[in-house]
Amino acid sequence: MNRQYFGTDGVRGPYGGPIINETFAARLGAAVARWLRDESDAETKKVVIGRDTRFSGPSLEAAIAAGLGNEGVAPVSLGILPTPAVSRAVRALNAALGVVITASHNPSEDNGIKFFSWHGEKLTDEEEMRIERLMPLSVPSIASAPVSVVDTLTPYMAMVQAILPPGALRDWRIVLDTANGATCATSPVVLRALGATLVQLGDSPDGRNINAGVGTEHPESLAAQVRATGAKLGVAHDGDGDRCVLVDEKGVVLDGDEILTILATHALAHGLLKAKTLVVTVQSNLGVDKAVRAAGGRVVRTPVGDRYVSEYMRAAGANLGGESSGHILCPEVVPTGDGLVAALKIMEVMLTTGRPLSELRRVLKKFPQATANLRVQEKRPMESLPGLGAAIAALEAELGDQGRVLVRWSGTEPKLRFLVENTEETTAKNGLERLLKAAKNELG
């Protein structure tokens, strides 16, 4: 899809840059309103808006609300709350659309805008392309628009808390890292209500410290605190709360692949994995496939992006999917990825089996991977890089069914991402070096 602004997860970039600024936000709000006017299944012209804790959030929210208001749509502010809570609120408030102003795990200097449809799911490529075509060249004004305010945090937390029985986490010590982001007011409340004693990190947002050395991208302090405090586990979110990274009681970090494999194999053992299918992306480790097959299920892969996972899950009738980055989708609870839901689901497995996380993680034996990111000045079409293409083809032929190669452009950053996987670590590393050399020869 040749979209000009949208990437794999909405529109994202440096605040004050050519895309993420108040004028662009107002234009995008107007375009979304025009698109809603053309949608026959939109029952209302109410749009809910949530944001994370970034300093640029309030002004971008006001701008997109003004763009919506200029086109006759009523904006409703939800304030600061996790992305999955916005997804839930769209349906709960019978809104036509949900807007989240966030750059997820990116630093505070970045921001972004992503959308949820009236049923709480991310928009498709085709829908985003239609919105881009409706963007006006300018808007009459980005002055303040009338905005109503609704509290949706309380019902969201009640819904999530119901995953576990009352008092289920009594006598549990948990280290919780909320990344100075949107989950600061939700995850601690839910875990304490279930009886947990918390050691907190990243719980003092100031608008500029979101994801700064904390959160899913920086689990080192979390792991150290788990070891130091003797906690049962550690939980880290990203800035907008749709990701989850865990740390076992020994201080070892678990990524999304390990979380998904634990949940999938447990669900298979209890007849709860619908269609006996786990949906992941091409980024996930081949060890996931092996573990799920051994448990009697199958793994299906999609392009990178949790919305592609979600789309396939709906088509296949699956109830579990996600990404190695920590986006975990349990649509029977909430339509999109939810870091707190994922953590509670893992705790549910721990409670049911009586096994610590360090034992549960053993179900996945990962294939060695070698990964790298190459920052570039320009994202050129892959077909315009014949030398790199030849190197990829040669390496794939050598690896055969004992490994795989993945080279793709980042959907949110000017980077070319590389992954080489093989049963032998040395082979994977050597293959990665060959691909990097080929790419640098062509890209400079």
Q: What is the 3-state secondary structure (H, E, C) of the chain?
A: CCCCCCECCEEEEECCCCCCCHHHHHHHHHHHHHHHHHCCCCCCCEEEEEECCCCCHHHHHHHHHHHHHHCCCEEEEEEECCHHHHHHHHHHCCCCEEEEECCCCCCCCEEEEEEECCCCCECCHHHHHHHHHCCCCCCCCCCCCCCEECCCHHHHHHHHHCCCCCCCCCCCEEEEECCCCHHHHCHHHHHHHCCCEEEEECCCCCCCCCCCCCCCCCCHHHHHHHHHHCCCEEEECCCCCCECEEECCCCCEECHHHHHHHHHHHHHHCCCCHHHEEEEECCCCHHHHHHHHHCCCEEEEECCCHHHHHHHHHHHCCCCEECCCCEEECCCCCCCCCHHHHHHHHHHHHHHHCCCHHHHHHHCCCCCEEEEEEECCCCCCHHHCHHHHHHHHHHHHHHHHHEEEEEEECCCCCEEEEEEEECCHHHHHHHHHHHHHHHHHHHC
Q: Is 77 a catalytic residue?
A: no
Catalytic residue among 40, 56, 87, 104: 104
Residues 6+ apart with CB under 8 A from 415: 373, 374, 375, 376, 409
Contact 168, 57 (CB under 8 A): no
- Contacts from 197-202 at CB under 8 Å and sequence distance 24+? 197/172, 197/173, 198/173, 198/174, 199/173, 199/174, 199/175, 199/225, 199/229, 199/231, 200/175, 200/176, 201/175, 201/176, 201/177, 201/225, 202/177, 202/178
Q: Are 53 and 102 in contact (CB under 8 A)?
A: no
**Would you please indicate which residues are annotated as catalytic (active-site) residues?**
104
